[in-house]
Structure 1
Amino acid sequence: MKPAERRLRRELPVVRRHLTTSAGLALLGAVLVVGQAVLLAGLLADGVAGHGPQRTALAALGTVLALRALLAWARGALAQRAAAEAQRALRERLVERLRHTGPRRLAARRHGETATLLTRGLDALDPYLTGYLPAMAATAVVPPAVIGWLWWTDWASALIIVVTLPLIPVFGALVGMHTARRTARQWRLLARLGGHFLDVVAGLPTLRAFGREHHQTGVVREMADAHRRATMRTLRVAFLSSLVLETVATLSVALVAVPVGLRLLAGELDLRTGLVVLLLAPEAYLPLRAAGAAFHDSAEGIAVAERVFALLDEEEPTAAAPVASVIPAAPVTPVTPVASAVPDGRTARLCLDAVTVHHPGRAAPALDAVSLTVRPGEHLALVGPSGAGKSTLLALFLGFTAPDAGRVLVDGADLAGLDPDGWLTQIAWVPQRPHLFAASVADNIRLGRPDATDAEVRAAARAACADGFAEALPQGYDTVLGEHGAGLSAGQRQRLALARAFLKDAPILLLDEPTAHLDPQSEAAVSRATAELMRGRTAIVVAHRRGLLPHADRIVTVRAGVLHPDPAAEGLVLS
């Protein structure tokens, strides 16, 4: 018995009650099995002897069969209820544990694995609680009861069963160890797939902005295919093990049946006793065969229980396990554009021509007939209250949002008609809350340019003032971050996002409140890095604080989806 199984029984009263109830029902079932065999043997023996059927014996046999059917229904219903209560108890304990770890420690875990564990994972306990546990209770009760009755009836047959019965658990254990390893690997692949998929979905806007979303189609497909192969290998082992157990049980019953037949022919055994032995011998092996078959169905549930208890016992947050990097190690093969050629971003003039945007569920437009022109190399600052439409304006230039009316123009060409991938290669986007993936620091920076060398990655980090804290991490640039950059401050995450932009070296820069939610020291560092990044590029900066305003050529206020130029800000130049 594995430690997780012992702990389930020790810490969950419902599991202990379920085991006790299953043992009691199994004992009652053993009594009914013996009674059924005795009654049926008597009826068959009397029929052969010419005494004819006995109504009392037939009624008794019918009653026993009805009781066995009722017992099977009760066993299944009680097992389902116990399984539901046990899963609910584990979910509550796990959720309570995660709630008290705090957001920072919770973010350090693999959210996808935890979500898989709370849903699909705990559901895998069903076969263990409804199949394997009752079967194990039956193995402790039914074989001794059947062998005891057979010993009193025909000790020679009982002795053969006693000798051959251990073969089934021996072969089952040999195959079970192999199955447990394969099932554990299958669960790890499923948890890895869930974690990676969640990470990709959460960071999809970032991947789209850097043109790396196509790479993830292949990565997710490969991970899903690995899980499929592991599942099929586990199923093959389970099917083969069932064949082994059935073969051993069949041969063991044959070892009992052949001597009984020979003794019947020799007149050394009466027909009634021989029939009782032949009817009861398979029942002695049946619980062990059922337990062996149920073990393979329940192996995933045991692996899940081990992971649940590992999370419950976790004292300190550990570094997130490396997953398949969301950042390709080599350039993605470019998609052949089917749209118009993209103008050169270094000389492109960006325009909004009477653009109106409505967000679902909002009556007022996010942008209302907005017109704006950004000259090549100009630094434009957008200010205004939250919800005024500043981020929507950036989304228009990124191509993430399509206008309901009006046009977004790039050197006179409608953005809707340009190749989106080609356009995004000319833009570096730094959002207000940049998404960092569960990968190394270097890989997170390398999202800006996947083919960049280590030296180029470090140079970009120095330009963004991120080299100091990056080199101080336990494994430096190879340190694997938690989800969403867990373990780093907001300022450090912002500087890594700026390092991406430095590495990409795109001619157009879109910054969405890069200094928001930062402490004064972090704000000063990010402001210096941002000012350096803006040099020689067309830049549109959404700013809530004044740290970046002195570096803007023009300031435009956005209120209720309408632009209000600020003439007093003209003349501010990049220092």
Structure 2
Amino acid sequence: MAFLVAAGMATTILAVVQCCATAAALAQLVSRGGSSAGLGLPLGLVAGAFAGRALVGYAQEAAGHRAALRTIAQLRGRVLDSAADRGQRWLADGKTSSTVTLATEGLDALEPYFVRFLPQLILTCLATPATLAAVVWLDWISAVAILVCLPLIPIFMVLVGKMTQAYSNERLRAMQRLGSQLLDLLAGLSTLKGLGRESAPRKRVKDLGDSYARTTMKTLYVAFLSGAVLEFLATVSTALVAVEVGLRMVGGDLDFFSGLAIIMLTPECFKPLREVGAQFHASADGVAAAENAFDMLENEGETEASRKAEAPGKAASNLPCPDLAVSPVVFDRLSVASPGRATVAPFDLTASIEPGKVTVFRGRSGAGKSTAAAVVLGLVSPTSGSARIGRTPIERISKESLWRQISWVPQRPAILPGTVLENMGCPLGGELERAASVTGFDDVVACLSDGWNTRIGHGGVGLSVGQRQRLALARALVKPRPFVLLDEPSAHLDAASEELVARAVRELRATGHTVLAVAHRSALIEEADAVIDVAARSDVPERSQALEEAEAAESDATSPTGGSQ
């Protein structure tokens, strides 16, 4: 920003030099009856100032764009980090599409704000007074006339700007609504097509698209109208100053050089204000998105502050992760409440995942097996109880430090557009071939048209669901980390493929890795060294009155006033 403002000031100084040199050349030409003698210096100054303005303008644009992209990337990273910290449940609560829209098109619109609007806003406070000082040096009466006309532009700019801002906020909301509807439609398109209802949402999507188009056109209409108003005011103000200067030149109160220089400098006085008004509309969409981003980050700070107020002894999440190769993962009466629901899943889970062993979470659907695994990953925080690695609570461990020791194969693995080999994240060699052989992915590669170089789409389009699962499992086995977490790895596989998963688990155990698997099927459960039954609160039988009395008695025994029993 400092460089952009300095470049803007340099452009202003060069503009003053160019106007004065042009006026000097013309005045000299008129006074000498058209003779070109002695015009070399002023014309050289004009050419130099013109070239200097072009070079400074290029440097200003280039540096501004690069700096803006870095700043937007940083803000986008903070938004994504905030969304990740809030967890998958927050995203699942209707926040995914709005976060996607905000992090992509919304923040991309911030570039005009950083490159043009903000520097022009600062230059209005610097360049306009500097140009006005040059006019004062030439003729103070003309400077007063300019000073009287200047406030008209900011007044109308504020009035029009408030209306434009409102339309920009409405446009962003319309874009988020359209994005949400499209994402929901795409997510359920296979189901709709299977039921023969794929054409039903067409009218709704069309209505949302038309609403977004109307909002966009309203924003453009106000922007063009306000731009015309500002240009009209600047033109009228310049004309008033020109009339005043012309009358005084005719009356002999002002010399030709001063009058001509003032007439050329007057638009330069108004230029920063006009640019602010023009660029405000280009940056309004980005400003609206930035406000949403800052609201999201500030709310995260408030949430963190309230969390610290509730648990003042809890330290920040920046501790290094203990070595998972030798440290157990321990759950102590862990319970996680589902937001907006009465379900607690898992409920009162007490267990230990020993290093170097194969542990399986078992339980009915909805019991909280995947949620318990998400607690291990630091993606979900316990509602009550605790989860720790060794003696360190997982909530206090830096996520980056934790994730560096975990290989995770989720139910829906992340597969990016590109070749199969690019998605494996390593060059073709012995380790990759061994991992593919253990998981049976080598048979999948053999059936592909271009083998490892076969291109696949986003999410693994081009592969079946089972083939995607094998890809993710092979990828986890290439260079497995100390702790391997498998979330339903055989859910989309047949019996023969399920045996390959069991073989991969045996391979991991033989090499000393800790394996935690979420499983329903018996083949994987049979490979486990320990099976942990996970239950939701609705799965737990009602507590008997005798048990409640025993717990109450134990509580009395440990209280300062209670007796023993």
Relative to the length of structure 2, the TM-score reads 0.54
In the alignment, the residues of structure 1 paired with residue 130 and residue 339 of structure 2 have an alpha-carbon distance, to the nearest angstrom, of 51
Residue 97 (structure 1) shift? 1.3
Change over 3 Å in CA distance of 1:41–1:307 after alignment to 2? same
Residue 265 (structure 1) shift? 1.4
Residue 46 of structure 1: aligned partner:
28
Change over 3 Å in CA distance of 1:521–1:389 after alignment to 2? farther
Residue 205 (structure 1) shift? 3.0
Residue 223 of structure 2: aligned partner:
238
Residue 279 of structure 1: aligned partner:
264
Verify the 8 A CA contact 1:126 1:301 in the aligned structure 2.
Answer: yes
- Structure 1 segment 140-289 matched on structure 2, within 5 A: 140-289=125-274
Measured against aligned partners, the alpha-carbon deviations of 1:12-31 in whole angstroms (never above 9, x if no partner) come to xxxxxx1x222222222221
Change over 3 Å in CA distance of 1:138–1:362 after alignment to 2? closer
Equivalent residue for 2:93, pick from 103, 108, 115: 108
Residue 494 of structure 2: aligned partner:
388
In the alignment, the residues of structure 2 paired with residue 288 and residue 101 of structure 1 have an alpha-carbon distance, to the nearest angstrom, of 42
Residue 24 of structure 1: aligned partner:
6
Query: Counterpart of 1:137 in structure 2: which amino acid?
Result: I
Residue 303 (structure 1) shift? 0.3
Q: CA RMSD in A?
A: 3.0
- Structure 1 segment 217-366 matched on structure 2, within 5 A: 217-315=202-300, 361=463
Is 2:68 aligned against 1:67? Answer: no
Verify the 8 A CA contact 1:245 1:289 in the aligned structure 2.
Answer: yes
Verify the 8 A CA contact 1:25 1:71 in the aligned structure 2.
Answer: yes
- Structure 1 segment 552-571 matched on structure 2, within 5 A: none
Query: Counterpart of 2:175 in structure 1: which amino acid?
Result: L
Query: Counterpart of 2:158 in structure 1: which amino acid?
Result: A
Change over 3 Å in CA distance of 1:99–1:385 after alignment to 2? closer
Query: Counterpart of 1:234 in structure 2: which amino acid?
Result: T
In the alignment, the residues of structure 2 paired with residue 235 and residue 364 of structure 1 have an alpha-carbon distance, to the nearest angstrom, of 49
Query: Counterpart of 2:97 in structure 1: which amino acid?
Result: G
Measured against aligned partners, the alpha-carbon deviations of 1:157-192 in whole angstroms (never above 9, x if no partner) come to 100100100100111110110010011000100011
Change over 3 Å in CA distance of 1:200–1:362 after alignment to 2? closer
Change over 3 Å in CA distance of 1:199–1:276 after alignment to 2? same
Residue 360 (structure 1) shift? 5.5
Residue 103 of structure 2: aligned partner:
118
Query: Counterpart of 1:110 in structure 2: which amino acid?
Result: K
Measured against aligned partners, the alpha-carbon deviations of 1:472-520 in whole angstroms (never above 9, x if no partner) come to xxxxxxxxxxxxxxxxxxxxxxxxxxxxxxxxxxxxxxxxxxxxx9947
Residue 85 of structure 1: aligned partner:
70
Residue 62 (structure 1) shift? 1.3
Is the deviation greater in 107-116 or in 295-304? 107-116
Verify the 8 A CA contact 1:242 1:293 in the aligned structure 2.
Answer: yes
Secondary structure at the counterpart of residue 87 of structure 2: helix
Change over 3 Å in CA distance of 1:386–1:524 after alignment to 2? farther
Change over 3 Å in CA distance of 1:364–1:143 after alignment to 2? closer
In the alignment, the residues of structure 2 paired with residue 72 and residue 279 of structure 1 have an alpha-carbon distance, to the nearest angstrom, of 20
In the alignment, the residues of structure 2 paired with residue 170 and residue 141 of structure 1 have an alpha-carbon distance, to the nearest angstrom, of 19
Verify the 8 A CA contact 2:98 2:179 in the aligned structure 1.
Answer: yes
Query: Counterpart of 2:284 in structure 1: which amino acid?
Result: A
In the alignment, the residues of structure 2 paired with residue 193 and residue 200 of structure 1 have an alpha-carbon distance, to the nearest angstrom, of 11
Secondary structure at the counterpart of residue 314 of structure 1: helix
Verify the 8 A CA contact 1:26 1:141 in the aligned structure 2.
Answer: no
- Structure 1 segment 430-469 matched on structure 2, within 5 A: none
In the alignment, the residues of structure 2 paired with residue 524 and residue 203 of structure 1 have an alpha-carbon distance, to the nearest angstrom, of 33
In the alignment, the residues of structure 2 paired with residue 309 and residue 35 of structure 1 have an alpha-carbon distance, to the nearest angstrom, of 42
Residue 116 (structure 1) shift? 1.1
In the alignment, the residues of structure 2 paired with residue 518 and residue 131 of structure 1 have an alpha-carbon distance, to the nearest angstrom, of 57
Residue 389 (structure 1) shift? 8.9
Verify the 8 A CA contact 1:182 1:234 in the aligned structure 2.
Answer: yes
Residue 133 of structure 1: aligned partner:
118
In the alignment, the residues of structure 1 paired with residue 534 and residue 339 of structure 2 have an alpha-carbon distance, to the nearest angstrom, of 26
In the alignment, the residues of structure 1 paired with residue 297 and residue 53 of structure 2 have an alpha-carbon distance, to the nearest angstrom, of 41
Residue 36 of structure 1: aligned partner:
18
Residue 282 (structure 1) shift? 0.7
Measured against aligned partners, the alpha-carbon deviations of 1:110-139 in whole angstroms (never above 9, x if no partner) come to 211111111111110011111111211221
Verify the 8 A CA contact 1:30 1:141 in the aligned structure 2.
Answer: no
In the alignment, the residues of structure 2 paired with residue 363 and residue 21 of structure 1 have an alpha-carbon distance, to the nearest angstrom, of 52
Secondary structure at the counterpart of residue 305 of structure 1: helix
- Structure 1 segment 459-538 matched on structure 2, within 5 A: 519=535
Residue 405 of structure 1: aligned partner:
none
Secondary structure at the counterpart of residue 215 of structure 1: coil
Residue 147 (structure 1) shift? 0.8
Residue 215 (structure 1) shift? 2.1
In the alignment, the residues of structure 1 paired with residue 82 and residue 258 of structure 2 have an alpha-carbon distance, to the nearest angstrom, of 60
Verify the 8 A CA contact 2:466 2:492 in the aligned structure 1.
Answer: no
Query: Counterpart of 2:253 in structure 1: which amino acid?
Result: E
Residue 207 (structure 1) shift? 3.1
In the alignment, the residues of structure 2 paired with residue 25 and residue 55 of structure 1 have an alpha-carbon distance, to the nearest angstrom, of 27
Verify the 8 A CA contact 2:17 2:45 in the aligned structure 1.
Answer: no
Change over 3 Å in CA distance of 1:521–1:66 after alignment to 2? closer
Residue 548 of structure 1: aligned partner:
none
Residue 94 of structure 1: aligned partner:
79
Verify the 8 A CA contact 1:131 1:294 in the aligned structure 2.
Answer: yes
Secondary structure at the counterpart of residue 268 of structure 1: coil
Change over 3 Å in CA distance of 1:48–1:208 after alignment to 2? same
Give the unaligned 5+ runs of structure 2: 304-337, 341-447, 449-460, 468-489, 497-532, 542-565
Change over 3 Å in CA distance of 1:75–1:39 after alignment to 2? same
Give the unaligned 5+ runs of structure 1: 1-17, 320-357, 366-383, 391-516, 526-575
In the alignment, the residues of structure 2 paired with residue 234 and residue 363 of structure 1 have an alpha-carbon distance, to the nearest angstrom, of 44
Residue 95 (structure 1) shift? 1.5
Secondary structure at the counterpart of residue 213 of structure 1: coil
Residue 212 (structure 1) shift? 3.9
Q: Number of paired residues?
A: 326
Change over 3 Å in CA distance of 1:289–1:362 after alignment to 2? closer
**Identity percentage of aligned residues:** 38
Change over 3 Å in CA distance of 1:59–1:208 after alignment to 2? same
Query: Counterpart of 2:16 in structure 1: which amino acid?
Result: V
Verify the 8 A CA contact 2:110 2:286 in the aligned structure 1.
Answer: yes
Residue 313 (structure 1) shift? 2.2
In the alignment, the residues of structure 2 paired with residue 218 and residue 279 of structure 1 have an alpha-carbon distance, to the nearest angstrom, of 57
